[in-house]
Amino acid sequence: MPISTEEIALLIKAYDFAANKHRDQRRKDALESPYINHPIAVAQTLWTTGGIRDSTTLLAGILHDTLEDTDTQAAELEAIFGTSVRAVVEELSDDKSLPKEERKRLQIEQAPKKSQQARLVKLADKICNVRDILQAPPKSWSVDRKIAYIDWAAAVIAGVRGSNPAMEELFDELCRQARQAI
């Protein structure tokens, strides 16, 4: 089913919202790219590689880091984008009060328990992160840290296998390329 004019308007609103919320944030790459490039890449991966046409999933892809990494509140997301989008974004958000290693462990443990929509966004997110390590790695990351990230991302994605074969195939190929390049 094609996306409606209303859904397109909401997607544009989500891009604007995310761009505003992430406006002062930069990626860790050598160029310190604007952070908004990441949510755009996640949504593009969902659309292009994943063939995802579900507006809730696409909106969650754009907004997936707003609760975790900005001052956005869940009620704010719900008021603007609805209950289902808020729920998926909350599902994807780490509890920043926990130590980093615990958050990483929980991502692996909880991945298989996620909703289908959250699983798809998680997969697209990890695709984009591994692609970034391959094409524009964080400037301060050692070879060991890059390998550790790829291994951890693969462990997370193991828990969402069966969600989208095309995105899983791309993830696997990017991991192969990254391991060879590192």
Task: Tell me how far CA of residue 5 lies from CA of 12, 35, 89, in angstroms.
Answer: 11, 27, 23
Number of domains in the chain: 1
The pLDDT tens digits of the residues spanning 47-104 come to: 999 999 999 999 999 999 999 999 999 999 999 999 999 999 999 999 999 999 999 9
Percentage of the residues of the chain whose pLDDT score is greater than 70: 99
User: For 128-172, what is each residue's pLDDT tens digit?
Assistant: 999 999 999 988 999 999 999 999 999 999 999 999 999 999 999
Amino acid at position 46, single letter = L
Cβ-based burial of 47 (10 A; exposed 0-12, middle 13-18, buried ≥19)? middle
Task: Output the pLDDT for position 154.
Answer: 98
CATH number at residue 73: 1.10.3210.10
Quote the pLDDT of residue 157.
98
Which residues span the domain enclosing 148?
5-181
- In the annotation, is 102 catalytic? no
Catalytic residue of the set 7, 29, 54, 69: 69
Helices then strands, each counted (H, E), the chain: 10, 0
Return the biggest CA–CA distance within the chain. Answer: 47
* Chain segment 111-126, per-residue pLDDT in tens: 999 999 999 999 999 9
Residue tagged active-site, from 7, 68, 76, 78? 68
What is d(CA 123, CA 165) in angstroms, rounded to the nearest whole number? Answer: 11
Whether 69 is catalytic: yes
- Give residue for tokens 């400037």: 139
Buried b (16+ CB within 10 A) or exposed e, 7-37: beebbeebbebbeebbeeeebebeeeeebbb
Signed CA dihedral, 149, 151, 155, 158: sign only: positive
pLDDT at 163 (0 to 100): 97
